[in-house]
Amino acid sequence: MTDEALLSVSELRTWYELRKWGFFHAGYVKAVDGVSFDLARREAVTIVGESGSGKSTLAKTLLGLVPPTSGEMTIAGTKLDGEKKGKGLAWVRANVGFVQQDPYGALPPFMSVQRILGEPLEIHGVPKTDQEQRIREVLEEVRLIPYGDFIHKYPHMLSGGQQQRLVIARALVLEPKLIVADEPVSMLDASVRVEVLQLLRRIQEQHDLGVIYITHDLSTVRYFSEFAFVMYAAKLVEKAEVKELIHNPLHPYSQALLTAISDPDAANAHIIKEVPGGEPPSLVRPPSGCRFHPRCKHFMEGVCDVDEPPAFQPVAGHEVECWLYREGEVPVDEESA
């Protein structure tokens, strides 16, 4: 990531306070815990991880929907924090678009397409004389054409793919600098998923947008972004270019995610894939040291369970938080040794 930074995140933490009986402090859910990364203009990055890893909380924090507990976020030179209110929060809303997971649930059923797209423009002071032209432009960009066939429709009158295109149009209508897409194709038919991802990719390239694509499906990553970050138990445990990550996953958790991808080749149906045992850790009381160590086949007692691993770079541009690489070591698969 050598281009000019659009988004910079440093030691970001978002913790949810727990209370007993509604009054007494009972700890925190550490949903995002010490996340740092940079995103350059015109780049797309995928954040991948299983459910409960903190991906959606990270997205909500970047969008200003949840205030961060600590850390820093800067978008296009503007520092964001939990104190943003009024004009400051309006700036975030105008410059960071959000593509939700469930398009039908994200769209108000009592509002027409024209009103759904016109409301953000009105709130942000776009003159009425310019609103119709902007709505027409953004509908054409997401391929909801001809304009007259869609402008007066309501969400229930659209197919799932058309609803998601409308959600994308709403995210684009204010011409943001950054798009956060949280599982944007998980609710769609397989036949429509590639179309929506290709649409997002084309729009990103045309407008020089930064895009954060959040998913648990590694099979779609290679078709969308340049970089991939693997998130586990509220931390980013591996960062690399997509091709590098897919062909050379270093963290044991990343290797497990790739192993879990379904294989369409019927000849491999009899092969039993090895997956880590156990369950993801509690984010209220996470394990000491490396958070993956209770499930890791490379666990080293007295090392992995004592200190959190820093980011090592055994390959140029490929970072991994795993003690196996503290001296350039590479884990050896015992079955293939």
Give residue 135's pLDDT.
Answer: 96
Work out the burial of residue 148: count CB atoms within 10 Å of its CB; fewer than 13 is exposed, 13-18 middle, 19 or more buried: exposed
Pairing of strands 178-182, 210-215: parallel
Work out the burial of residue 232: count CB atoms within 10 Å of its CB; fewer than 13 is exposed, 13-18 middle, 19 or more buried: buried
CB distance 117 to 170 below 8 Å: yes
Nearest Cα residue to 10 out of 70, 56, 67:
70
How far apart CA 279 and CA 314 sit, in angstroms, is 28
The phi-psi region of residue 294 (left if phi > 0; otherwise alpha if psi is between -120 and 50; otherwise beta) is alpha
Give residue 286's pLDDT.
Answer: 93
Give residue 334's pLDDT.
Answer: 44
In the chain, beta strands by DSSP E:
5-20, 24-40, 44-48, 70-75, 78-80, 96-99, 178-182, 210-215, 227-232, 235-241, 312-315, 318-320
**Full DSSP string of 214-250:** EES-GGGGGGT-SEEEEEETTEEEEEEEHHHHHHS--
**Full DSSP string of 271-308:** PPPP---S-PPPSSSPPSSSTTGGG-TT--TTTTTTS-
- Length of the chain as a residue count: 337
Q: Which residues of the chain have pLDDT under 70?
A: 1-4, 81-88, 263-266, 268-269, 328-337
Give residue 81's pLDDT.
Answer: 67
DSSP 131: H
Q: Which residue do the tokens 């429709």 mark?
A: 153
List the domains of the chain with CATH numbers. 5-325 (3.40.50.300)
Nearest Cα residue to 106 out of 151, 196, 167:
167
Give residue 1's pLDDT.
Answer: 47
Sign, CA dihedral 178-183-187-191, equals positive
Give residue 34's pLDDT.
Answer: 94
Give residue 335's pLDDT.
Answer: 42
Give residue 133's pLDDT.
Answer: 94
Pairing of strands 70-75, 78-80: antiparallel
Nearest Cα residue to 304 out of 294, 314, 312, 318:
294
How far apart CA 54 and CA 137 sit, in angstroms, is 35
